[in-house]
């Protein structure tokens, strides 16, 4: 989050969207089907909702360029987690109930100088509802 | 899927069985523990997550709810880690449920999946036996402690994977297990029957082996008082100037007491187990404890306390000796708190959350200087204290506390001639023989009663058991009049006389016994009251 913010205005959004595209096609190549992109409610938002077999997976995409340094971006902060969890609950409620297997993943996309292929790191089950407490 | 694991918690020194219910279901991933857990248990979630991952399994992206039943009791500590982790693995189908249900499981997990020792393992094992469960899965370090119990099968585990292997029947059941943490490459866990001839080599207490009563030169009167104290469980106060040997004498009192019986050893070890004072791999404590808390000790340190109520010094001295050096220097509130345990052999600590009773059957030996400067009544030294200072010094010990002391003995400073030419006297072994025979007499006397020592007799029991000869009675009457004794001191003298008679193997209390008992009456500033 912090790394992306250090980019010139406008660029951060572009980078973020590119990251989401890359992760979405990566997950599709793994056999997942995309259910929603940029799912938003008043109380939170989720970058990607995909289904992996029976499991609904909520993916937070973190993009970072080589310009950013320091924070590895793999930590999703408590506030952010809470927003994702709230959005996930409202999605599940509209999609037919909470009693389905699901998971929160974090995908990190590393853009190396914008030239070579970006590196995707997928952290499965990166957090759970503990964030609520 | 729901699975149940049995584990245990401790209140005071009493264990209780906790049913750890683990439900793993679909839904948003979550991990919550309910059933009044404290912070340590809340934090166990992180240890469990890491140790399951680091032992080679995947931590499930499921909704995990752990309930610690009975849910009304407050639970604390880290001993539930292993049980919860195994419950999760069982819910995921890695461990057969019926195998897991056979065991009572305890142990703390470390992030790498290894198992650390649990506090109060012995207490939990005792309660497991009482509830009819005799198979335990314990941290390797706790194995010896728990094995001392008759009828317990304890399988030591050093890691989560060990436990997994055992529960999947992949362990050959041999009881020799490499113990990771103690440093020895192989710590041999002997089966129970051979444990007896192999008493615990390490002791959290000062080794009493090298101490002997004959180390102390002279002080025959004080030595005899200690003998009586050990035989009849009478509390002692020694008064004497600095350097006269009060501490030396007190330290040798445990050598005059018979070694603890099996059930006493279990009682002692339970206290040390809860206090976390057992060394890894240690078995039962087979020596009587000797505790000598400093006079700056806090109330909680001496009596016990803290959020999960840990035993204090008075409980750590259970079935042994509690030595209070410089008795008047102790805080008044602390001394007053000693009254109940000295009377009843246990201490009850009441909190808003409930009350806990800890064992505190300790023989109290106190020492004091005769006055603030210490030299009152000593040969060749002037006492620089004003009479008022002496009185206020003595007054720091309250009457009710003094009432619980049966033997008062003066420990004078020895001259140089005494030190070189003085008598060494009997060895501890010789004295112990008399003490043991006196104890046998008492065991017979108090058969079927709640008490087992002369020192514990109430006035009713004194009237029932103490038979005095005509001559003895005459002397007692005379003393009663000339010293204007209270009825309480009358009873005290009879109790002490009874022990003296028991030590001599006499069936009735005679003049000589009374006369000796009278010599242990209050001395110096303290004799103004009783």
| Span B365-417, pLDDT tens digits | 999 988 888 887 777 777 888 888 888 888 888 888 888 899 999 888 887 77
pLDDT at residue B99 is higher than 90 = yes
Mean pLDDT by 10 residues, chain A (133 residues): 53 82 94 93 93 93 70 71 92 88 90 75 86 48
Distance CA B392, CA B314 (A): 26
Task: State the pLDDT confidence band at B186, using cuts at 50, 70 and 90.
Answer: very low
Distance CA B341, CA B346 (A): 5
Residues of B near A (Cβ–Cβ under 8 Å) read 25-32, 45, 58-63
Distance CA B251, CA B213 (A): 9
Determine the pLDDT at residue A77: 84
On whether the CB atoms of residues B211 and B252 are closer than 8 A, the answer is yes
How confident is the prediction for chain B on average, in pLDDT? 86
The residue among B9, B203, B202 whose CA lies nearest residue B123 is B9
Q: Which residues of A touch B25 (CB under 8 A)?
A: 99
Radius of gyration of chain B from Cα atoms?
Answer: 27
Q: Which residues of B touch A124 (CB under 8 A)?
A: 61
Asked whether the beta carbons of residue B29 and residue A99 sit closer than 8 angstroms, the reply is: no
Nearby residues of B447 by Cβ (< 8 Å), 6 or more positions away: none
What tokens appear for B440 in the block? 């046998």
Mutate to test the interface with B, among A102, A128, A133 (most CBs of B within 10 A): A128
Element housing B105 (H / E): strand B104-105
pLDDT at residue B142 is higher than 50 = yes
On whether the CB atoms of residues B313 and B301 are closer than 8 A, the answer is yes
State the smallest CA–CA distance between residue B30 and chain A in angstroms: 5
Determine the pLDDT at residue A71: 55
Distance CA B424, CA B409 (A): 19
Distance CA B461, CA B454 (A): 9
3-state SS class at B507: coil
State the smallest CA–CA distance between residue A98 and chain B in angstroms: 6
Residues of A near B (Cβ–Cβ under 8 Å) read 55, 85, 88-89, 92, 98-104, 124-125, 127-130
Nearby residues of A92 by Cβ (< 8 Å), 6 or more positions away: A56, A98, A100, A102, B28
Q: Which residues of B touch A85 (CB under 8 A)?
A: 28
Distance CA B308, CA B304 (A): 10
Mutate to test the interface with A, among B29, B58, B66 (most CBs of A within 10 A): B29
On whether the CB atoms of residues B140 and B115 are closer than 8 A, the answer is yes
pLDDT at residue B463 is higher than 70 = yes
The residue among A69, A96, A88, A73 whose CA lies nearest residue A132 is A88
pLDDT digits (tens, 9 = 90+) for B42-69: 999 999 999 999 999 999 999 999 999 9
Determine the pLDDT at residue A4: 46
Determine the pLDDT at residue A114: 58
| Residue B315, CA distances (Å) to A71, B145, B225, B267 in order | 52, 19, 24, 10
Q: Which residues of A touch B32 (CB under 8 A)?
A: 129-130
Please report the ipTM that was assigned to this predicted complex. Answer: 0.78
State the smallest CA–CA distance between residue A130 and chain B in angstroms: 6
For residue B39, is the peptide bond before it cis, meaning its omega torsion is within 30 degrees of 0? no
Distance CA B495, CA B499 (A): 7
What is the pTM assigned to this prediction?
0.84
- Mean pLDDT of the region B201-227: 76
Asked whether the beta carbons of residue A128 and residue B29 sit closer than 8 angstroms, the reply is: yes
pLDDT digits (tens, 9 = 90+) for B230-265: 999 999 999 988 888 899 999 999 999 999 999 999
């Amino acid at each position: 989050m912090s790394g992306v913010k250090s980019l010139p205005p406008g660029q951060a959004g572009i980078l973020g969207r590119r990251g989401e595209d890359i992760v979405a096609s990566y997950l599709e190549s793994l056999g997942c089907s995309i259910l929603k992109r940029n799912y938003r409610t008043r109380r939170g938002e989720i970058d990607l909702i995909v289904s992996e077999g029976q499991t609904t997976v909520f993916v937070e995409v973190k993009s970072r360029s080589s310009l950013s340094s320091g924070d590895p971006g793999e930590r999703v902060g408590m506030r952010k987690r809470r927003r994702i969890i709230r959005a996930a609950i409202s999605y599940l409620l509209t999609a037919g109930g909470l009693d389905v297997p699901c998971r929160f993943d974090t995908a990190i996309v590393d853009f190396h100088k914008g030239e070579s292929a970006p590196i995707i790191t997928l952290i499965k089950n990166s957090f759970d509802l503990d964030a609520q407490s | 899927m729901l699975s149940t694991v049995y584990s245990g918690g401790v209140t005071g020194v009493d264990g209780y069985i906790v049913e750890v219910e683990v439900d793993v279901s679909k839904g948003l991933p979550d991990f919550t523990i309910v059933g009044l857990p404290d912070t340590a248990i809340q934090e166990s979630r992180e240890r469990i997550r890491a140790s399951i991952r680091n032992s080679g399994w995947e931590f499930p992206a499921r909704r995990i709810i752990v309930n610690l039943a009975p849910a009304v009791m407050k639970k604390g500590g880290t001993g539930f880690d292993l049980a919860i982790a195994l419950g999760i693995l069982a819910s995921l189908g890695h461990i057969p449920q019926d195998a897991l249900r056979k065991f009572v499981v305890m142990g703390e997990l470390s992030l790498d999946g290894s198992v650390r020792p649990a506090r109060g393992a012995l207490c939990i094992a005792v309660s497991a036996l009482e509830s009819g469960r005799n198979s335990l899965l314990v941290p390797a370090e706790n194995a010896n402690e728990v094995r001392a119990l008759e009828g317990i099968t304890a399988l030591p585990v050093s890691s989560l994977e060990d436990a997994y292997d055992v529960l999947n029947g992949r362990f050959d059941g041999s009881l020799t297990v490499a113990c990771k943490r103690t440093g020895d490459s192989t710590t041999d866990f002997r089966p129970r029957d051979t444990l007896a001839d192999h008493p615990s080599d390490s002791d959290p207490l000062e080794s009493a082996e090298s101490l002997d009563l004959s180390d102390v030169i002279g002080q025959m009167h004080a030595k005899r008082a200690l003998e009586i104290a050990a035989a009849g469980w009478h509390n002692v106060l020694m008064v004497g100037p600095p350097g006269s040997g009060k501490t030396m004498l007190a330290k040798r009192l445990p050598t005059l007491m018979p070694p603890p019986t099996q059930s006493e050893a279990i009682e002692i070890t339970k206290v040390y187990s809860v206090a976390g004072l057992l060394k890894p791999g240690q078995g039962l404590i087979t020596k009587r404890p000797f505790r000598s808390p400093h006079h700056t000790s806090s109330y909680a340190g001496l009596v016990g306390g803290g959020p999960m109520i840990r035993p204090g010094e008075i409980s750590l001295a259970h079935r042994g000796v509690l030595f209070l050096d410089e008795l008047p220097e102790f805080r008044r509130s602390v001394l007053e708190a000693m009254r109940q345990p000295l009377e009843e052999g246990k201490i009850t600590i009441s909190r808003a959350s409930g009350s806990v009773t800890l064992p505190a059957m300790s023989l109290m030996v106190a020492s004091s200087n005769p006055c603030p400067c210490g030299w009152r009544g000593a040969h060749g030294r002037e006492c620089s204290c004003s009479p008022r200072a002496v009185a206020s010094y003595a007054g720091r010990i309250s009457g009710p506390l003094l009432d619980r002391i049966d033997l008062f003995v003066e420990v004078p400073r020895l001259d140089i001639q005494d030190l070189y030419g003085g008598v060494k006297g009997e060895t501890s072994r010789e004295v112990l023989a008399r003490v043991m025979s006196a104890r046998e007499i008492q065991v017979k006397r108090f058969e079927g009663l709640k008490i087992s020592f002369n020192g514990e007799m109430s006035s009713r029991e004194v009237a029932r058991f103490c038979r005095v000869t005509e001559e003895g009675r005459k002397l007692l009457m005379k003393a009663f009049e000339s010293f204007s004794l209270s009825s309480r001191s009358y009873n005290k003298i009879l109790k002490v006389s009874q022990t003296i008679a028991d030590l001599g193997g006499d069936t009735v209390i005679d003049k000589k016994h009374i006369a000796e008992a009278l010599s242990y009456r209050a001395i110096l500033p303290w004799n103004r009251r009783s």
